[in-house]
Amino acid sequence: MIIKTENLSKIYDEKTMPLMALDGINLEFGEGEFTAIVGPSGSGKTTFLNMVGGLDKPSGGTITINGTDITGMTESKLIDFRLHNIGFVFQAYNLLPVLTAKENISFVMLLQKTDPKLMDARAMELLRQVGLEDKAHVRPSKLSGGQQQRIAVARALASKPRFILADEPTANLDTVSAFNLLDIMTRLNEEENITLIFSTHDQRVIERARRVITLVDGRVSSDEYFDSKN
């Protein structure tokens, strides 16, 4: 087990019009899982990922990652913890427009103060893994949506995280790009044992997952495991 949430809750606008986004979530995620978190809009999927990723503070409960309770961390310690433990892939890609593909991938390693030669070699290896070696010096505006998302995956892997959180990563992609992205992430999960946790509405993602958690109104409605998926 590398992630555990206990009685996790999140209330927005507590003093005006309280909205319970998460209501007592108790979940555990083991190493090498490929999990899809599904549910209708407003069910709490993105909120849950933001809590686990340390991008937002819970209103109650605890989040333990690799044996560390992150809920009580100061902001500076949380930033450092995210930098070394968590990879993120967002629906909107969130690439820095002034940087090339290679520079976007290298940025996290730069923050980690990685040796420049090692940083350069890893960035190129990650570009190779996502099939975009020839786009190393191209900026995001010159890349397709699918290519940008593959760069975002490479960036998420740059810090060698234990797990990756992906928030609707295929939502803006056409069918071919979505399948290419899923092929890459499935291979990373199977060959490198990287834990993947997706929030998604996309049936293409759900069909790849080996665990599907359904959230409804901020609560776990179902939690199903599958032996294998194609």
- At residue 228, the pLDDT reads 58
- At residue 36, the pLDDT reads 97
- At residue 59, the pLDDT reads 94
> Is residue 57 within 8 Å of 46, Cβ to Cβ?
no
Distance CA 118, CA 85 (A): 19
User: What strands, in cross-sheet order, belong to the sheet with 163-167?
Assistant: 86-90, 163-167, 195-199, 34-38, 211-216, 219-225
Output the pTM of the full model.
0.90
Dig out the tokens for 89 from the structure.
Answer: 């892939």
> Is residue 124 within 8 Å of 101, Cβ to Cβ?
no
Residues 57-68 pLDDT 10s = 999 999 999 899
The angle subtended at Cα 58 by Cα 202 and Cα 110, nearest 5°, is 75
- At residue 90, the pLDDT reads 87
Residues 184-206 pLDDT 10s = 999 989 998 999 999 999 999 99
- At residue 13, the pLDDT reads 80
Assess whether pLDDT exceeds 70 at residue 55.
yes
Q: What does the domain layout of the chain look like in residue ranges?
A: 3-225
- Mention the CATH class of domain 3-225: alpha beta
